């Protein structure tokens, strides 16, 4: 993994861990519950991706820095919770940054093991959203991926933009642009109230 992707992975792990810990604190979980929520949010998507693409052992088992970052998220939230709350509505900003970072990381890691760009795009989405799915399920919330608002679709657009732009642009620039695409699409979707057009209804 290139140096910039390592830093992206670390940053994504930290911001996702913070989003999980925030939910745990707001739900009044005990310390162990908060830790579990931070853990599954931070490494859940990457673990599922690695298992699907055949990477053994999964990333966080080979590098203890991931665990340290999750542990660091707990005091960050406890000591700076009021400040963090001012920066975001719910866990929105941390989720948005996290899915942008992990989408591109997932695409790049899948391509590095020789799988096709199509599979890489799908694994980018898996990397980005499934930690949040596990977090929401454990916190007794409806996962964002199952709602009409733009979430996984933003990751899909960002993943596709990376696969295409990486052929034409400097690699690090392509990474930056594609992460920005995910974040911008997600922010605009919330601000402008964009929703996916499909809404399955049960027959009357």
pLDDT digits (tens, 9 = 90+) for 51-82: 999 988 888 898 889 999 999 999 988 888 77
Give the whole-angstrom CA distance, residue 36 versus residue 15.
Answer: 15
Residue 127 within a domain = yes
pLDDT in the model for residue 23: 87
Q: Answer yes or no: is 199 within a domain.
A: no
Q: Which domain holds residue 61?
A: 3-191
pTM of the model: 0.81
Residue 76 lies in a domain: yes
Residue 196 inside a domain? The answer is no
Residue 201 domain-assigned (yes or no): no
Note the pLDDT of residue 95. Answer: 74
**121 inside domain:** yes
Per-residue pLDDT tens over the stretch 111-147: 999 999 999 999 999 999 999 899 989 998 877 777 6
Q: What confidence tens digit (pLDDT) does each residue in 146-204 have?
A: 766 677 889 999 999 999 998 888 888 998 999 999 999 988 888 877 776 655 444 44
Four-point Cα dihedral 134, 19, 173, 171, nearest 10: -40
Peptide bond into 57 cis (omega under 30): yes
Q: Which of 122, 132, 128 is nearest to 105 (CA)?
A: 128
Mean pLDDT for the stretch of residues 84-98: 67
84 contacts 77 by C-beta, under 8 angstroms: yes
Return the number of other C-beta atoms located less than 10 Å from residue 195's C-beta. Answer: 13
- Would residue 198 count as lying in a domain? no
- How far apart are alpha carbons 176 and 122 in whole angstroms? 19
- Ramachandran bin of 78, using left for φ above 0, alpha for ψ from -120 to 50, beta for the remaining angles: alpha
Of 70, 127, 135, nearest in space to 98 by CA: 127
Q: What is the pLDDT of residue 80?
A: 80
In a domain, 7, yes or no: yes
How far from each other are the two terminal CA atoms of the chain, in whole angstroms?
53
Which of 84, 78, 5, 86 is CA-nearest to residue 35?
A: 78
Number of separate domains in the chain = 1
């Amino acid at each position: 993994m290139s140096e910039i992707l390592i830093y992206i992975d670390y940053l994504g792990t930290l911001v996702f861990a913070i989003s999980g810990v925030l939910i745990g604190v707001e739900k009044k979980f005990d310390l162990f519950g908060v830790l579990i929520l931070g853990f599954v949010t931070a490494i859940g998507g990457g673990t599922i991706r690695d298992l699907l693409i055949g990477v053994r052992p999964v990333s966080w088992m080979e590098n203890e820095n991931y665990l340290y970052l999750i542990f660091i998220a707990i005091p960050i939230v406890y000591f700076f919770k009021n400040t963090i709350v001012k920066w975001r509505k719910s866990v929105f900003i941390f989720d948005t940054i996290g899915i942008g970072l992990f989408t591109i990381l997932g695409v790049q890691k899948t391509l590095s093991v020789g799988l096709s760009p199509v599979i890489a795009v799908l694994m980018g989405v898996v990397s980005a959203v499934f930690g949040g799915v596990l977090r929401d399920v454990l916190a007794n919330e409806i996962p964002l991926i199952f709602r009409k608002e733009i979430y996984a679709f933003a990751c899909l657009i960002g993943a596709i933009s990376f696969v295409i732009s990486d052929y034409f642009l400097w690699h690090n620039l392509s990474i930056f642009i594609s992460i920005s695409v995910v974040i911008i699409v997600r922010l605009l979707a919330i601000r402008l109230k964009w929703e996916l057009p499909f809404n399955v209804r049960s027959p009357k």
